[in-house]
Structure 1
Amino acid sequence: MRIGILQTGHAPDALRAEHGDYPDMFTRLLAGQGFDFVTHDVEAMEFPASPHDAGGWLITGSRHGVYEDHPFIPPLEGFIRAAVDAAVPVVGICFGHQIIARALGGQVEKFVGGWSVGACDYRIEGRPFRLNAWHQDQVIRPPDGAETIGSNDFCAHAALIYGDRAFSVQSHPEFDSGFIAGLMQTRGAGLVPDDLLDAARARLDLPTDSDAMAARIARFFTERR
């Protein structure tokens, strides 16, 4: 099955030599699941011709806010709506989680409670998940037809499902602890409060459930429609 990666941002230049860019991380995350991948740099306005150009679509994270004025955001929202209407499965991660919600009528804001950084504990579909996070924006109000299936005390809508059409999570299963540590060095200082960075550093060695989330994403892509 071919998965189209809709790339909405890039990893920091200083981290790419060691960790790769976001499509590389998703290729590693979903390795062994029977997929091949094609990447479209939608941030650079490189869009697929049709939602049917792939068997499923995965929308990456980004440093941008979905409510910001960037040329790629309106056509990306239109593409999401077209894919959902065509029953081509869409998965969103962080920014991807937020842009799906916004494209379908939900509300996304810069969260007044601040940042979530590093390994965080969630309950998703009735089971505990520990996944890495890096965000301040949140889905505040999911769109009609979305079901909240994951949350914690900080993030009320940490995972959403839209029947068999879309599935999204606010966290970053594709980020390992080394990349989180690199983000704290390259993007965190002066942006994220020091106490949150210190707390995230103290949790860098905790195991995460990225493999379990990768399996869940794969099941969503391949389940019958």
Structure 2
Amino acid sequence: MTSTRTRARTLTRRAGLAATAVAAALVLAACGSDDGADTAAGAQTSPSASADTASGAHNDQDVSFAQGMIPHHRQAVQMADMAAGRASSTAVKDLASRIQKAQDPEIRTMSGWLKAWGEDVPSAAPGMDHSGGHSSGSDSSGMAGMMDPKDMDELMKASGKAFDTLFLTMMVEHHEGAVEMATTEKAKGQYGPATKLADDVVTAQTAEIEEMNKLLGMSGSKSGS
């Protein structure tokens, strides 16, 4: 009789322990599920946060800079293209080649930014690079240093030393406009890659302005002798 009661209590205690173990396992499983959910939620938000950090925030100035500098660069490249067949100076041809190689990739870079931001990329329609005010250094879009159609036609018709002088004179003004635009971007822009590109423009084109002024001085001394 005693043995039977003892066995019954043992079985009851084991059943209770088993029930407790099951309950504990369910609690742990629930906790684990919550942790997993939190981890999954973190995994879902983390890439977005990382993307935002990588892309960087931009403002209206960044958009304006890219939309203005793209046609500005396109006109410089168009002017540089003319030098291959019209310039007489090797130094002018070399400078034009460097301008083209530097600004073509920057056009593609800025176009990529605008597409990523959902903004319009300036059209490359024929003749659009001829807009601008030569005397005032600005046009209806406010881009400093752009040549007008008459300037571009005059450059296109020139050749030899006349082309060299005209090209250098125009490109100095064109570069000065680009430096002005880039300086504004450095001061007011928010997008890191854009302000970095603006800094590069200021550095490179300021050096090229100095180089072109020296070439103009040499050209002037030769023509006057």
TM interval, short-chain normalised: under 0.3
Larger Rg: 2
- Structure with greater proportional strand content: 1
Structure whose residues are more often helix by fraction: 2
Q: TM-score, normalised by structure 2?
A: 0.26
TM-score by length of structure 1 reads: 0.26
